[in-house]
Amino acid sequence: MKKNLVVGAGFSGAAIANLIAENLNEEVVVIDKKDHVAGNSYDYRDKNGIMIHKYGSHIFHTNSEKVWAFLKKFTDFNTYMHEVVGIIDGIEAQIPFNFNTLYQVFPETMAKRMEEKLLRAFEYNTKVPILEFQKQDDEDLKFLANYVYEKIFLNYTTKQWGVSPKEVDGAVTARVPVYLSKDNRYFQDKYQGIPRKGYTKVVERMLDHKNIKVKLNTEFKGVECFDRVFFTGSIDEFFNYKYGMLPYRSVNFKFEEYDREFYQSHACINYPNNYDFTRIHEYKHYLQDKSDKTVIAKEYSEFFELGKNERYYPIASKENAELYAKYLKEAEELDNVYFLGRLGDYKYYNMDAAIERAINLFEEIR
Ligand code: UDP
């Protein structure tokens, strides 16, 4: 029987482990240096019965039938559709900026005038990245674009990435485009929701297989003794940082408990222009947990430092892409060692993209 090692028990590692154990009937050892599975999607019920996302809000959404069908084997989802508001000049305003936001932040006559101009300039229901949206000739629309840039993107992005929106990769801010629509949802995917029993349970179920052995609190020591190795840690770590460290952004959550039913109107409220945190998460909204207490987390962004905090976000830049390419070249020369996941591929994957990558890799090797 072939023996596989999977390094990392997050979604990517658990998915590839499950696919191999189930379809190839091979042995899989899954190791993780943390004391729990599920990586950064780890959640748990606290003493109040509230499901806490330890490493920040995770909202599952996908258009992929393949990914949805795979996940449905391990969980049901509720029908939660994520909506985000941002505090803009003291007003709770819909994010992404859409036609409803226009009426929330501007006087009605002004909003109407801009709405008419927008409908002439753009197709209804299209999404326009902010840096694209700023290319306007009309004075009203130029004013609007600068308003959205300054009030929603400039300070949030500076807090989150340490640089202005013009200096981060365009794909990052394009995740939250200006949306010429009345759709208030953060995601438009066909399938979205929160696993009814939480993300940790989903991963536990993926790993609950007679051919899979999970070892927590276990460091990766080497590829010897295994026929194949799947590495979901950071690719530079695998190679002992021989070309230098791939940079990441990290986040730090400050948890607070309140003796009242709700703290805020939405699961996630962004604070682009105020305070040092980027957003506040209130967890009980996700699974409609009942408690007369509530728990929130304020999210502070910082650089990743080895040994101090966790890797969360690969930083897309030309320099980092070149550094990653050096590691990738080394990786391609290895037989039977595969890299995947946000850290293994150094890509800002959403959960569904991480799972899709694991499924596709499995199809390649089977
Ligand atoms: N962003 C912003 N203001 C907001 C929300 C998002 O400037 O109110 C920008 C910011 O640069 C952020 C990016 O859009 O990093 C992507 O946001 P998203 O909510 O997708 O980030 P995630 O939830 O993955 O942290």
pLDDT digits (tens, 9 = 90+) for 323-338: 999 999 999 999 999 9
Q: Is 316 in the pocket of ligand 1 (CB under 6 A)?
A: no
Please provide the size of the chain in residues: 366
Whether 149 lines ligand 1, by a CB cut-off of 6 Å, is no
| Owner of token pair 């569904």 | 352
**Dist. CA 326 → ligand 1 center (Å):** 29
The CB of 156 under 6 Å from ligand 1? The reply is: yes
% of the chain with per-residue pLDDT over 90: 99
Nearest CA to ligand 1 atom 19: 176
The atom of ligand 1 lying closest to the CA of 86 is 8
Give percent above pLDDT 70 in the chain. 100
Tell which atom from ligand 1 comes closest to the C-alpha of 157: 11
Report the candidate in 19, 58, 11 with the shortest Cα–Cα distance to residue 37: 11
Average pLDDT of the residues of the chain: 98
Establish whether residue 86 lines the binding site of ligand 1, counting it when its CB lies within 6 angstroms of any ligand atom: yes
pLDDT tens, position by position, 104-136: 999 999 999 999 999 999 999 999 999 999 999
40 lines ligand 1 (CB under 6 A): no
Q: How far is the CA of 362 from the centre of ligand 1 (A)?
A: 31
Average pLDDT on 254-261 reads: 98
pTM of the complete model: 0.97
Q: How confident is the model at residue 240 (pLDDT cuts 50, 70, 90)?
A: very high
What's the average model confidence in pLDDT over 216-228?
95
- Alpha helix ranges (H) inside the chain: 11-23, 65-72, 99-105, 108-121, 130-133, 139-148, 155-161, 170-173, 199-207, 235-238, 318-332, 341-344, 351-365
Query: Is residue 172 in contact with ligand 1, taking CB distance under 6 Å?
Result: yes
Looking from the CA of residue 160, the nearest atom of ligand 1 is: 15
Q: How far is the CA of 45 from the centre of ligand 1 (A)?
A: 27
| pLDDT (0 to 100) of residue 149 | 98
Residues 238, 300: Cα–Cα separation, whole Å: 28
What would the pLDDT profile of 131-159 be if each residue is shown by its tens digit? 999 999 999 999 999 999 999 999 999 99
CA dihedral (272, 273, 276, 280) positive or negative: negative
Determine if ligand 1 sits within 6 Å of the CB of residue 191: no
Structure tokens at 236: 């530079």
- Mean pLDDT, residues 233-239: 98
| Residue 223 confidence (pLDDT) | 87
Does the Cβ of 272 fall within 6 Å of ligand 1?
Answer: yes
Mutate to test the pocket of ligand 1, among 83, 160, 168, 312 (most ligand atoms within 8 A of CB): 160
Q: How far is the CA of 221 from the centre of ligand 1 (A)?
A: 36
Residue to probe by mutation, ligand 1, list 85, 156, 302, 311, most atoms within 8 Å of CB: 156
Contact predicate 314/248, CB 8 Å: yes
pLDDT above 90: residue 252: yes
Residue nearest to atom 2 of ligand 1 (CA): 153
* Ligand 1 probe mutation, 172, 269, 351, most atoms within 8 A of CB: 172
Looking at the predicted structure, is the pLDDT value of residue 229 above 90?
Answer: yes
Mean pLDDT over residues 300-318, rounded? 98
Question: 299: part of which helix (H) or strand (E)?
Answer: strand 294-303
Tally Cβ neighbours within 10 Å of residue 81.
16
Question: Tell me, what's the pLDDT at 13?
Answer: 99
Residue 55: half-sphere exposure toward Cβ, Cα within 13 Å: 17
> Residue range 60-84: average pLDDT?
98
316 Cα to the center of ligand 1, angstroms: 14
Q: What is the pLDDT of residue 329?
A: 98
Q: Which domains does the chain have, with CATH numbers?
A: 3-80+191-245+314-365 (3.40.50.720), 84-179 (no CATH)
Q: Is the CB of 186 under 6 A from ligand 1?
A: no
